[in-house]
Structure 1
Amino acid sequence: MVEQGRRLYGNKGQAAVQDWFKALESAQGLAQIAQLSVVNRFWNRSVRQAEDRDVWNQTDFWATPLDSLGKGLGDCEDFVIGKYFSLISLGVSPEKLRFIYVRAQVQNAAIAHMVLGYYENPTAEPLVLDSLIDTIKPAGERGDLTPVFSFNVQGIYVPGAKPASVNQIGRWRTLMQRMQNQGFTP
């Protein structure tokens, strides 16, 4: 993947992927809570917030971790994707992680936003990894976020509805294909 980073994004891309691998190596063997912090900090410091239309010339594009690192730019989904696959590669069970669409209160406006939720067990209150703040907090302490729905490899979860197949999310399928094409097998 380092070579792929160089091929697609030059020396900057190669260095970014190497830094990612170093961060993952530093998190190996740590408790999962510590791994969450390493991963959250790495992505929040390595990628700058930018809109898809400015980076990819598209309204909504889900970048692979390699793409986000290579460009050094991403929107909230890209941060979550990078954090998710970083934690998966560290051995965190996919069932403990959910992409959570929220309405976020930012400067007196409610915006569509995505965060990563970590569930110690299926009924636990999730810890929230967010590109807007570096501190990982329980969802109950994030009064600025209102969950809309969440998903992971097991399904889509909407309050009051039965879980649906994640395959209904076309961007997820496209992301998985692009990741495989880049040599990353989730």
Structure 2
Amino acid sequence: MAVFTRTEPFSLSPQLLQTTLAEYGENALNRLQLWQQLINDGRGSSDWQKLHKANDFANRQVSYKNDMGHWGKSDYWATPLQSLQSAAGDCEDYVILKYFTLRAMGVDETKLRLMYVRALNWDEPHMVLTYTEKPGQYPLVLDNINPTIMPANKRTDLRPVYAFNASGVWMAKAQGLGTKVENSPGVSQWKQLLERIEHDK
């Protein structure tokens, strides 16, 4: 089972921490230890507090760097460990880190979506994380461009395209959750990411 979804206290293995220190240095080790502490301290918090803790942590600990400059690939989805070890990532990597941080804190998976959007101010594709407390409500948007958590209807600079989590894909309608679509090819990167996370030590 992946370390990110355990119900017992979140604990990174000593081997992983030693490898991180040897390959990435003391600052990277500190980031992983802070992440571990953040998750365990946040488990008793409200969802609202968890959202802010995860959003602020990822936005502070990871600096933006595009995939080609960082990984030498046009499109690469890093695991949370890779983002924290390297202290860099693009919009997908911020979202992935926030998603798994919140899941490890105990936030219900059904409330979270990774959402592809169009960033209208730049006319570029972008990804954000959304949280919906109850069906029918506007989701809250967690973003690395705008660090303030806001309802989706207040983010007029974003045009939703589609959203997904481990359970499936939803085509976005307005700023809502949209309709679930089966067997979408748009989540192949997500499936590969989950497989890599399962094998992280």
SS in 2 for 1:169: helix
Distance 1:163 1:4 in 2: 37
For residues 140-165 of structure 1, the C-alpha deviation after alignment (integer angstroms, 9 at most, x for no partner) is 10000000111112211114765224
Instruction: Give TM-score, length-normalised by structure 1.
Output: 0.90
Q: Tell me the amino acid that sits aligned with residue 150 of structure 2.
A: K
Of 48, 51, 60, which residue of structure 2 is paired with 1:45? 60
2:192 equivalent in structure 1: 174
Alignment of 1:4 onto 2:19: no
1:111 equivalent in structure 2: 124
Distance 1:167 1:111 in 2: 21
Q: Which residues of structure 1 form unaligned runs of 5+?
A: none
Distance 1:90 1:5 in 2: 20
For residues 84-118 of structure 1, the C-alpha deviation after alignment (integer angstroms, 9 at most, x for no partner) is 00000011111100000000123xx2110000000
SS in 2 for 1:66: helix
Distance 2:44 2:197 in 1: 25
**Larger deviation: 131-140 or 168-177?**
168-177
Q: Which runs of 4+ in 1 moved over 3 A?
A: 159-162, 165-168
1:88 equivalent in structure 2: 103
RMSD: 1.8
Q: How does 1:113-152 map to 2 (within 5 A)?
A: 113-152=126-165
Instruction: Give TM-score, length-normalised by structure 2.
Output: 0.84
Asked if the contact 1:102/1:145 (under 8 Å) is kept, the reply is yes
1:24 equivalent in structure 2: 39
Q: Aligned residues, how many?
A: 181
